[in-house]
Structure 1
Amino acid sequence: MLSDMILSSGRRRDPNSLSLPAIIFTAGLALMISGCTAKPSSSVPGEKLQINSISAPSPENIFRIPLMTNPPDLDPILVSDTTSSGVATKLFTSLFDYTPDLELEPCLAKEMPTISEDGRVYDIQLRDDVRFTNGRTVTAADMKYSIQRLASIRSKRTNLVEKIVGAKEAIAGASKSQEVSPEIPGIEVLGDHSLRITLIESSPPFINKLAMVNTAAVPREVIEEIGDKFSRNPVGSGPFTLTEWKEGISLKLTANQDYFEGAPKLAGIHYRVIPEPLAQLEEYKAGNFDILAATQGVYPKWKNSNRANEVRFWPSLAVQYYGFNLKKEGSPYAGYSDSARKLREAINLAVDRKFLGEVLLEGRSYPANGILPPGIFGHNSERPAFTQDVEKAKALLAEAGYPNGEGLPPVDLWFNTQGDNSKIAQAVQADLKKVGIEIGLKMLDWAAFIEATDAGEPPFFRLGWVASYPDAEYFLASLFHTKNQGSQGNVSFYSNPEVDKLIDDSYAETDPAKRVELLKQAESRIIADSPWLFLLFGQETVLLKPYVRNYNPTGMCDDVQGNYIRWHLVEIDAGNQG
């Protein structure tokens, strides 16, 4: 899932020390920075900084969340970013879900599926007590319709269904027929609440896709009535329903009292769109938000204050990177020539990731050692992290045909407006200039940025990827397989037949050790091609009011959005205001 922010959270830890389940931590760090109103600190060693911050819950029992940008889409088949997913996961439910330990468990399904010995056939029994928020019961026919929609021409996630018998033909046919839910023979309705899914071949990670918001149940009659407007008027079977959306201003969610896992303890969730982190902080301190992403300047100050108990952080199953568009005409970094590869390698060696993570991000991130973060099945803990080597970067620049950067055409680094992205971009720009590489900076709103990267417009761009399930295949296939170029995830437009084959072979491999070895080989081959400036791993950090209960994130949660939190259990304890 695309992440809209450079890791805005977490303190630096050894990559091998992160573990799941994700546990919320609190700790202290003394450092004074600007950005918060506070009483003057005492010179007495160890005395805490006093921060004036109101701890007052909403009298209407509403959980209040700031957003930096408007969610681009809320239709499950269009959700491809964490901002959209954070809202959508509160409105929709899928066949399966994850426990806090990131173990799969039934959701709309009554129990875990019965899987054939050859791993191809999944028989799934649905609960019979689930209703859409329009009052109608969710059936197996709804699940067939909903999953088939992923094969339509509008879908941004056709790769999620391609392993199902007949899906590839449905995807190809939909590009001509414009069908909203093209028929996939491998999805069969065996009864009102009985579904069978048959795969072309065994695919161990397939079941994880049935826990993603993209495969959530949607009511056919609503989509047939309002069509593409469903993205702005969603109807699902989740714990909340969207009752108001003022574009670019706010969204209001109301509790679904008939939610099948129990009525939410909150009356609702309200989002307000405020692009400026400092403005969000002032609203949080004024008691108008219950949670806040800890961007630069917030974390160290609050950690050494009277409000240290509001700081929460957890390991993040995410990678942050700057991607090269390998198909961008006119870019010296595009393609697979020896010169282009050396230029990309030079950029990787020119950047001081340690400074980014430890200084600029105040210890909330650390240098990546590849694509797969710690906690992901397939992470290589033995590979060293990327380090800065200015002299080697200059040597590679000369070998590429551009000594001291002479004659190297400048390109723009595109990034979105959220969080610390601008500060990171400026630091990278300065590092590259030291070795003779000139880049410009181009900042866009999140929705416009996604549209541009999907279309292959930027030659060089900032992005992140957060796990929607904790497996290497989700990262490597989505981001690097040739078939997923463009809106499916591979916005570097990377293509390597050897990598494609390794990933494809991993689908059929049922031995976990052999499967992970294939994926590790694929990752190593990708790294050798340097399609990215590999940046950072880290943790998520937020400020959370002390009266909030049962906000229990996993490594797949993207800061304040809480994509995989059990929101029907989150509650406000008005008697505990810190």
Structure 2
Amino acid sequence: MKKKTKTFLTLLSSIALLAACGGGNEENDSTQSAGAESTTTQTGGILNIGLAANVSSLDPTSYTSQYEANVVRQIGNTLIVYSKDFSEFIPSLSTEWAVSEDGLTYTFQLREGIKFQDGDYQDGREVTAEDVKFSLDRSAFDSALNRLSGIESIEVLGDYEVAFHLTTPSSAFMSMLTDPGNIIVPKEEVEGWGDQFAQHLVGTGPFSLKNFQSGQQIELVRNDNYWGASPNLDGVTFKIITDGNMMVNSLLSGDIHIATDVRGQNREVIKQGNNVELVSIPGFSTFYLDMNMMKGPTMDKKVREAIYMATNVDDIVNGVNQWGGAEVSYSPLPKASWGYMENSKDFIPEYDPVAAKELLAETEYADGFSINLYLSDARIPYGTIFQDQMKENLNIDIQLNPQEWGTYSETVSSGEADMNIGGWSWDPDPFFYLNQEFHSNNIGSLGNGRGYNNPEVDALLDNALTETDREKRVDLYHQALEIIMGDHSRIEIELSETANGLSKDVEGYDVRANNEVVIVNDDGVNVSLKDE
């Protein structure tokens, strides 16, 4: 098997990379890293971070939200990671890699001497290629969100060498490996804990899990045997604060140091606060309203189109975001993705409630109907405005069903949600949006719980995944987008900025476009707290 060098692979995989995200506004351009003026590094202390939704699972194969991912990332490591600006891949548990000429085999060399954290079923033993195979076999064949697709087999070539054999060449494979769902875990802990492993995660990361209290908080402590740079902090505590106002009050009172997912008026409250700052940057996050294509009135394409035409998306976005932080979305892809289609607006129905009512009259639902809308507490403001518009424009009664994250995720994934308001944030490669949310292979997962199924779209997405030329990939994705948006399976709502409230006691923390919380990583980040 002829192999290329790591440098060549990086060039070959450029299709999966993104230059530093542009955009932003004047108030944010100079504030993307907290405490940047500090010249000394403090050690010790517990960093408290507020999460806007509950964390129900830390198992890399079963978690479904960014909130859970942000905890998993601190406990485990992947083979490689993205650089801060998403422009290149950086070694993590692996030191180098190579790819065969046919693009079907990727071979990784592992660092020697890396140890797992101590657990109940192993005492911090060394990581080997067998652990990589075990962990990524789980991800490839058992992941709730198909976080590692296209794997034919994983082969152990030696104690510190492992090969991935793909079914077809995959231009997104390297990007997939950076996902926290692909951290390396010990077999003994997974099998010893069984289903309870979701609350007893053990990995190789800078922090170990100390205490998991679902719905309340998750306590992590410094891993003194961490293979990388020793964390500056003694630990990190993630506090579950689902109410946005309470989140900000906790930041202002000093109960937390970082408030995540800051929206609405709370942006202004933080700007006016003492010893805190709002950091808000263009992100990869999209908000949308799914319509079930497998059951109920929205099985009818005319009903879906009428609903879209009767939805004043501008009023929803502006009503919820009077204090900034978002703009109207016209595409399933965020603008920061290199696959974004600039003329996306041309494929979105214009707001026309009169024409919408006429279109609905062509169906059996001319007089309106009642339907359930599922959403998290944080998205109730969006649902309330949509509810009013549907009643006024189409005589459709929208029943709001707020749910905590775990229940919401299960309802949507199982196809039981008539409608749902969702959010999606991943890396810049279009694969993570279009394949995850529109390929029929993902029906039954959170991304495609509504049951979108179009063979023509499947074929275009499959071809884009095996194509190595980025321009050709973009063309294929644009063809798919035109069909997807013409099917009206969901209403595009907004592109959200990534907004965090930060205590000025935090040093070295960067807000990332993909909503990722990074405390210690291989790109030189090591967050600390100022001495009190």
TM-score range, shorter chain: 0.7 to 0.9
Task: Note the alpha carbon deviations across 1:5-58, whole angstroms, 9 max, x for none.
Answer: xxxxxxxxxxxxx98347987729xxxxxxxxxxxxxxxxxxxxxxxxxxxxx9
Structure 1 residue 390 corresponds to structure 2 residue 358: no
1:187 aligned to 154, 159, 162, which one? 154
Q: Which amino acid aligns with 1:439?
A: I
Deviation at 1:116, TM superposition (A): 1.2
Task: Note the alpha carbon deviations across 1:222-250, whole angstroms, 9 max, x for none.
Answer: 22222221111110011111101122222
Q: How do 1:50-449 and structure 2 match up within 5 A?
A: 61-102=45-86, 103-111=88-96, 113-134=97-118, 135-152=124-141, 155-157=143-145, 159-165=146-152, 186-293=153-260, 294-303=262-271, 305=272, 307=274, 310-328=277-295, 331-334=296-299, 340-362=300-322, 363-384=324-345, 386=348, 387-403=350-366, 406=367, 408-417=368-377, 419=378, 421-436=379-394, 437-449=396-408
Change in 2 beyond 3 A, CA 1:502/1:308: farther
Is the 1:89–1:238 contact (alpha carbons within 8 Å) kept by the matching residues of 2?
yes
Is the 1:353–1:535 contact (alpha carbons within 8 Å) kept by the matching residues of 2?
yes
Q: How do 1:503-522 and structure 2 match up within 5 A?
A: 503-522=461-480
Is the 2:498–2:511 contact (alpha carbons within 8 Å) kept by the matching residues of 1?
no
Task: Note the alpha carbon deviations across 1:88-113, whole angstroms, 9 max, x for none.
Answer: 111111111011111221111102x2
Identity %: 29
Which residue does 1:530 correspond to in 2? Answer: 488
Deviation at 1:151, TM superposition (A): 4.6
Deviation at 1:529, TM superposition (A): 0.4
Is the 2:43–2:529 contact (alpha carbons within 8 Å) kept by the matching residues of 1?
no
Deviation at 1:438, TM superposition (A): 2.2
* Range moving further from structure 2, 18-27 or 364-373: 18-27
Q: How far apart, CA to CA, are the structure 2 residues paired with 1:460 and 1:240? A: 38
Is the 1:553–1:564 contact (alpha carbons within 8 Å) kept by the matching residues of 2?
no
Q: How far apart, CA to CA, are the structure 2 residues paired with 1:306 and 1:145? A: 48
Deviation at 1:216, TM superposition (A): 1.1
Change in 2 beyond 3 A, CA 1:302/1:227: closer
Q: How far apart, CA to CA, are the structure 2 residues paired with 1:23 and 1:232? A: 39
Deviation at 1:188, TM superposition (A): 0.9
Q: How far apart, CA to CA, are the structure 2 residues paired with 1:374 and 1:325? A: 26
Deviation at 1:384, TM superposition (A): 2.0
Q: How far apart, CA to CA, are the structure 1 residues paired with 2:130 and 2:525? A: 26
Deviation at 1:275, TM superposition (A): 2.8
Is the 2:21–2:336 contact (alpha carbons within 8 Å) kept by the matching residues of 1?
no
Unmatched runs of 5 consecutive residues or more in structure 2: 1-17, 29-41, 119-123
Deviation at 1:70, TM superposition (A): 2.5
- The count of corresponding residues between Structure 1 and Structure 2 is 490
Deviation at 1:474, TM superposition (A): 1.3
The Cα RMSD (Å) is: 2.4
Q: Which amino acid aligns with 1:571?
A: S
Q: Which amino acid aligns with 2:312?
A: D
SS of alignment partner, residue 202 of structure 2: coil
Q: Which amino acid aligns with 1:552?
A: D
Q: How far apart, CA to CA, are the structure 1 residues paired with 2:276 and 2:519? A: 23
SS of alignment partner, residue 287 of structure 2: strand
Q: Which amino acid aligns with 2:108?
A: I
Q: How far apart, CA to CA, are the structure 2 residues paired with 1:161 and 1:297? A: 39
Deviation at 1:501, TM superposition (A): 0.7
Is the 2:519–2:527 contact (alpha carbons within 8 Å) kept by the matching residues of 1?
no
TM-score (ref. length: structure 2): 0.87
Task: Note the alpha carbon deviations across 1:237-286, whole angstroms, 9 max, x for none.
Answer: 11111101122222100011222221111111112223322222222221
SS of alignment partner, residue 110 of structure 1: strand
Q: How far apart, CA to CA, are the structure 2 residues paired with 1:488 and 1:415? A: 13
Q: Which amino acid aligns with 2:301?
A: R
Q: Which amino acid aligns with 1:107?
A: S
Q: Which amino acid aligns with 1:398?
A: A
Is the 2:107–2:161 contact (alpha carbons within 8 Å) kept by the matching residues of 1?
yes
Unmatched runs of 5 consecutive residues or more in structure 1: 1-17, 29-57, 166-185, 335-339
Q: How far apart, CA to CA, are the structure 2 residues paired with 1:381 and 1:129? A: 48
Higher share in strand: 2
TM-score (ref. length: structure 1): 0.80
Change in 2 beyond 3 A, CA 1:302/1:212: closer
Change in 2 beyond 3 A, CA 1:326/1:556: same
Change in 2 beyond 3 A, CA 1:287/1:480: same
Q: Which amino acid aligns with 1:105?
A: I
